[in-house]
Chain A
Amino acid sequence: MIEYFFISALALVILMLGSMIRLYIGPSIADRVVAVDAINTMTIAAMILLGVYYKQLIFIDVAIVYALLSFVSTLYIAKYVGGEL
Chain B
Amino acid sequence: MVAEILVLIFLIIGLLFNALGIIGLIRFPDVYTRMHATTKSTTFGSIFLCFGVIIYAIATLMGTGDSQYLMVILHTIVAVFALAITNAVGAHAIARAAHRSGQMPTPGVVDRLAEANL
Contacts and interface: CB of A to CB of B under 8 A. Distances in A.
A74 B75 contact: no
Interface footprint category on A: 35 or more
Given A22-B25, A22-B34, A84-B100, 19 more contacts: A4-B52, A5-B53, A5-B56, A8-B49, A11-B15, A15-B18, A15-B19, A18-B22, A28-B101, A28-B103, A30-B103, A33-B97, A38-B21, A42-B46, A45-B46, A64-B78, A64-B79, A79-B93, A82-B97
Where chain A touches its partner, the secondary structure class is helix
Interface residues of B, number: 50
Nearest to B11: A8
A73 to B, nearest CB: 9
A38 B91 CA distance: 10
Contact of A63 (B25, B31, B45, B79): B79
Interface of A: 1, 4-5, 8, 11-12, 15, 18-19, 21-22, 28-31, 33-35, 37-38, 41-42, 44-45, 48-49, 51-52, 55, 57, 60-61, 63-64, 67-68, 70-71, 74-75, 77-84
